[in-house]
Amino acid sequence: MQTLDEILKSRRDTRHFTSDAVPDAVIQKALQAGHWAPSVGLTDATKYYLITSDEIKKAVKELFLDYDSKAANQTDNKQQKADYKALKLEAIEEAPLGLVICYDRSVLNNFTIGTVGSNEAIKFSSVCAAQNIWLSLTAQGYSMGWISILNYYQFKQLLGLPEHIEPLGYFCVGKPATNYDNQPMLQQLNWKQKSESPFVEEINRMPTKNDFSPIVLKEKRDPKDGISEDLKFKIDNKAKPTGSLGILEKLAQQIGELFQTLEPKINQPNMVVFAADHGIAQHGVSAYPQDVTRQMVTNFLEGGAAINVFCKQNNIKLSIVDAGVNYDFSPNANLISAKIAKGTQSFLDKAAMSATELKMCFSKGAAVVDAIAKTGSNCIGFGEMGIGNTSTASVLMSIITKIPLEDCVGLGTGVSDAKLIQKQMILKKAIDNYQGSTDLDSQLAYFGGFEIMQMASGMLAAYQNNMLILVDGFICSVAFLIAHQKNPKIIENAIFCHCSAEQAHVKLLDYLGVQAVLQLGLRLGEGTGCAIAFPIIQSAVAFLNEMASFESAGVSSNA
């Protein structure tokens, strides 16, 4: 009989199996071992699904191959790519049994001990179960291989898993065909050597505190002497009547002053969509369920949303930021992870976020934009996605501007008139329940949304990087309002791309004293207004740089 140490040491991520069937008694004993694993709050959140169908195995294999090719293309050089392709990383069709180990997110709908600090704890419990299963199989002369190179969204669809069930991966189960010379396969093939002993270090003093300090605002340099006058002269002396290009002339003046040149250029425009969930959504303030946030982010990543279409049309790079969606996206998703938590709390009777979480928002939002600025981009648009965020934005607008709440609340995703009245009553009650400080940051933490705060921070960072800031609709304008409260000079960099169909938006633009480029009745969000307005902004730059003057065209400028 093997000792525990021997079992632990001989556990292998198996890729070669015999064709021997796995007896029911073996798998049932292993699954019972998984059930005995630690479970946070005794939630029993771990679920198991057995796969014996050749058709399903083949489909899972195709998912693997798709992502395996992407993994191969991310290797560092040709030799590493060749070495990677030579590895056997799965036995999906060869293994006699497939096992899908999952965790059930729905347990988080009720208070669960151990998950308040981290919703990830239920996932950790399932990983403990996977390890127990592995050890039990090893002790019984069988083994398991973990396949994680998959598109998890497609994987869930293929298996027909409920939305709240999240897989750790696909596990191949069977009798091992080799013991790999008692070494991990990757080590045996010299891909990488496992260290002989674990990393251990004692922490005996408190580290320097990271307070996630907000952006330190710096004074930008003074404009070059006469640049404003020179730009006005250049614009007025184009071969056209003075002022005849309307708002294009104002945009050209603004952009030239911002970049301090008579020949401005927009470089590598980037549209950034921040997404997060809102606790207030649980009170029925939206026409859509909260999970639509996750669904739409997935749609962004798959290229099927309106913002994808318009960014592609106008050659704008699109970046998607997970600021706090109530979902675990795959680590290999084309997503910027800036998650604070899986959605805010409901501010109906408690703070949406803590003071620390607010500081984290300002830190992470700035970092996203700073990274984009380093790529050479000098133009950034802001968009958002988050069911319930018009409610959050309406409350923030009201408490900052002192405009009555009724004038700040609109239809959002398209609620009915009856729902609108209910929405107003819920939000008014939330404001009446607030007993906190009147300082701005306290109110932002209590009523804010992760994506709105990160946008506000990102806008401030864009100002610091001297970028042109494109502001989308109502919610993005509320984020700008917050940034403007922090630094009024940010208005110099901002272009308000459209006035949305949300009734509060025109009031907010009037409050800021700005004019929107477009009036199209949009209320989609996602940054669509920015992407649609971008060709007009390019036209302003184009006429400034390329249109002939009266003199160069030989046209008389006399009236």
Whether the Cβ atoms of residue 274 and residue 321 lie closer than 8 Å to each other: yes
Q: CATH classification of 4-189 is 3.40.50.720, yes or no?
A: no
Angle at 514 between CA 509 and CA 520, to 5 degrees: 65
C-alpha–C-alpha distance, residues 266 and 288, integer Å: 37
| Cα–Cα nearest to 424, from 248, 219, 250, 285 | 285
* pLDDT of 107: 80
How does DSSP classify residue 439?
S
Q: Is 219 a catalytic residue?
A: no
H/E run at residue 272: strand 270-276
Classify 96 as helix, strand or coil.
Answer: coil
Q: Of residues 90, 166, 451, 526, which has the active-site annotation?
A: 526
Whether the Cβ atoms of residue 365 and residue 272 lie closer than 8 Å to each other: no
Q: Which CATH architecture has domain 266-545?
A: 3-Layer(aba) Sandwich (3.40)
Report phi then psi at 86, rounded to 5: -80, -15
**Amino acid (1-letter code) at residue 473:** G
Whether the Cβ atoms of residue 511 and residue 478 lie closer than 8 Å to each other: no
Q: What would the two tokens of residue 105 be?
A: 């997110």
**Is the pTM here over 0.85, yes or no?**
no
Residue span(s) of the chain under CATH 3.40.109.10 come to 4-189
* pLDDT of 341: 86
Written as one string, the DSSP assignment of 497-529 is -B--SSHHHHHHHHHHT---SB-------TTHH
Per the rule left: phi > 0, alpha: psi between -120 and 50, beta: everything else, 187 is alpha
How does DSSP classify residue 238?
B
C-alpha neighbours within 13 Å on the C-beta side of residue 520: 15
* pLDDT of 154: 83
> What is the β-pairing status of strands 46-51 and 97-104?
antiparallel
Averaged pLDDT in 10-residue chunks for the chain of 559 residues:
76 85 96 89 85 95 86 79 81 95 82 64 89 93 90 86 89 88 66 72 72 54 70 89 92 95 96 95 82 90 94 97 87 85 88 92 96 96 95 95 91 64 89 92 95 97 97 96 96 95 91 95 91 97 89 62
Whether the Cβ atoms of residue 45 and residue 122 lie closer than 8 Å to each other: yes
What sign does the CA torsion over 224, 226, 227, 228 have? positive
Q: Rounded to 10 degrees, what is the CA torsion of 21, 25, 31, 34?
A: -120
